[in-house]
Structure 1
Amino acid sequence: MAQMHSDTHIGEDLAAARVAKGLTHGDVAEALNLQADYIDAIERLNRDALPSIGYVLGYVRAYANLVGLDGSEAVKLFKRDSAVPVNLGMRDRPHFVPRRKIKLPRGFVPAMSVLGCAVMLAFWYGTNTRVEASVGTSIELSNPSAPAPSAPTPLPANILTIKAVAPSWVQVKDAQGRVVISRILTKGETYQTEAGARMTLSARDGGAIVLYAGEDRLGPMGDVGVSFSGKPIDASVIIPELADIPLVPLTTDRPQ
């Protein structure tokens, strides 16, 4: 059986035994059914180019047996030598304790990069969501968390307000059929426009949306849990007339 030397590391001993038998990396790889790169990495103690240590120790044992070295001793030396290949000259000192390099799992860095991008995208989307509205026909959505003014001015009767009393998706279109808003209103949020603007409203839950003219509450735009499409928002619309407007089932532009 070939001998291992104290002044070399196990990778060099394996390479020397291989060369003595006239074998190439390819010969060993073919005999052990491994990649030739793994044989080279074992000889250079390059743990970064090898799979997990459990597999590698099996490769080292088989490699050593193939070239006439003691498999168990080769495994023992590989674990010792590959821990600190740049400090092999210190390994026999009585107080030397090898420091192992922390090796992150494969794919860890790309996974964390993707996660970081997802967090940044979610933050950006949450802080930049906006509502598009036609100029001169509507007023911005209210913010339910904003402090109320100490002396609110009563709204004039020609200001129409739709208010969400429960979360519901809504869509408002102008007189030309262009989408002004299309989003979910949370409880307490409102949307306002002027009378005569001929805006139409679609909603997933008619009972969740209440219509106001100025300060007067006209009532819900529909039944609880019933969706509708294309209802006019107009100051002349009162409760009986709301009931007379036919409901059109929503089939398009509805969130999933």
Structure 2
Amino acid sequence: MDASPEHIGHVLRDRRMALDLTPQDVFEAIHLRVDYIRAIETLNADALPSIGYVLGYVRSYAKFLGLNADEAVARYKAEIAAPENICVSHLPHFVPKNKIKLPRGFIPALGVLGFAVMLSVWYGGTMASQAANPALLSVDSQTDTQMKEAPIDPNLVTLKASAPSWVQVTDGKGKTIISRIFVTGETYSAIRGSDLTFSVRDAGAVDIYIGKENLGALGEMGQALKDVPFPR
């Protein structure tokens, strides 16, 4: 029997399938992109935007499936940080080392060979290396492309602190999801149309985004807002 634990992506997928829902059904209900759903279910972080937005997706997805949203977010944060460690707790924590007996004179010969290779590289020069390996330039350009900003779901609503301010978010039943002072740059995200409300102590210190578009501050500096519904 396989005793390996499931990661949170598998839990979400199994719950969705148990409810006889397809990724398209989920998209139509909470507007979470199908490719994002599949990436969350497989912990494929490379196919997702930044972690701040993804945690909002996970929270909305888990809540829609009737699971504990806080627990789902906590597990996702822990498991996405080191996915290679998932399902290997049953393996030993050491690897036996086999002794290898090298032939006499092998180490000195290896040193001579290494020195010869180093001389060859030095005499060849940097330009010769680039001429022999033109693909190296395209690797650099691909890296630059990968560093560009990840796509953002246009249905995502984000509160972002431009200065420290207390922020509280509650669900449709009045349960508090978060209630703390946001530091500058801290965000909270939810899918547009979520049954959530927010309160802030300083509306001028919190900006609201729809997708990538910054709609500006929630209000005037020092203005307090209470139980404002998230945009629909």
TM-score normalised by structure 2 residue count? 0.37
Between structures 1 and 2, the one with greater helix share: 2
The structure number with the bigger radius of gyration is 1
Q: Higher RCO, 1 or 2 (CA under 8 Å, sep at least 6)?
A: 2
TM-score normalised by structure 1 residue count? 0.34
